[in-house]
Amino acid sequence: MEALTLDRPIELPELKGPITFQEFLAQVDGGVHAELEDGEVIFMSPASRKHQHLFGWLYSILRHHTRHFSIGELLPAPFSVRLGETGQVREPDILFVRSENLARIRETYVDGPPDLVVEIISPESIDRDRGRKFVEYEAESITEYWLVDPIREQAEFYRLGSDSRYHQALPDADGIFHSESVPGFWLRTAWMWEDPLPNELDVLRELGVIQ
């Protein structure tokens, strides 16, 4: 079998910080997964196969749900989010912006808080996802933050309270999490740990997206 080749090589720019948001947009190619933290460009490590399988599955069912019910726009990484409160630029694995907030989406980034951010944890990102990003997303008033850990097979769902703080939103007695940021969407958390992952069409039928 021949090795896969890219249409063009990915050249990572040699950036010396601190740089501005405008410099970040101008110099970092849209196909490169990178974030801007305290003026320094942080390039993300390649994702594992397990990470990508879960990411693709979760994105697929969310995408079909949001498009079927016409409730907003779902975007996968790499797509930047400019955080106005902290000045950082993050690239969540998945983000969702409700229809009433679509004006926040620019051509190459979201200017302000999405309604939902999903981070799928990898070994190199665990401290950042649970630490700095948690604080930043809370400060930015992102309504829901999902932390999905395929290594430990656990998911944590955080919802912004009236006190502007994140509080953990637990699945119900049947292990089902009901989202408030994505209207009508629910998820059996056990689905995410099955190997192989459940057939997407079967999941979409159970969610009522298709017949």
- Residue 32 inside a domain? The answer is no
Exposed, middle or buried by CB within 10 Å (0-12, 13-18, 19+), for 189? middle
In the structure, how many helices (H) and strands (E) does the chain have?
Answer: 5, 13
- Residue 22 inside a domain? The answer is no
In the chain, the percentage of residues whose pLDDT exceeds 90 is: 72
Side-chain half-sphere exposure of 96, counting CA atoms within 13 A: 28
pTM score, two decimals? 0.88
Distance separating alpha carbons of residues 158 and 54, to the nearest angstrom: 19
- Residue 123 inside a domain? The answer is yes
Q: What is the CATH number of the domain that holds 119?
A: 3.90.1570.10
Per-residue pLDDT at 184? 96
Per-residue pLDDT at 15? 58
- Residue 165 inside a domain? The answer is yes
The pLDDT tens digits of the residues spanning 21-78 come to 888 888 876 667 889 998 898 888 788 999 999 999 999 999 999 999 999 999 999 9
Range of the domain at 136: 47-207
Q: How many other C-beta atoms can be found within 10 angstroms of the C-beta atom of residue 84? A: 11
- Is pLDDT above 60 for 8? no
Structure tokens at 73: 């726009």
The pLDDT tens digits of the residues spanning 109-143 come to 999 999 999 999 988 888 889 999 999 999 999 99
**What are the start-end ranges of the E strands in the chain?**
34-37, 40-43, 72-76, 80-82, 89-90, 94-98, 109-111, 116-120, 144-149, 154-160, 166-168, 176-178, 186-188
Name the domain count of the chain: 1
Three-state DSSP class for residue 101: helix
- Residue 109 inside a domain? The answer is yes
- Residue 196 inside a domain? The answer is yes
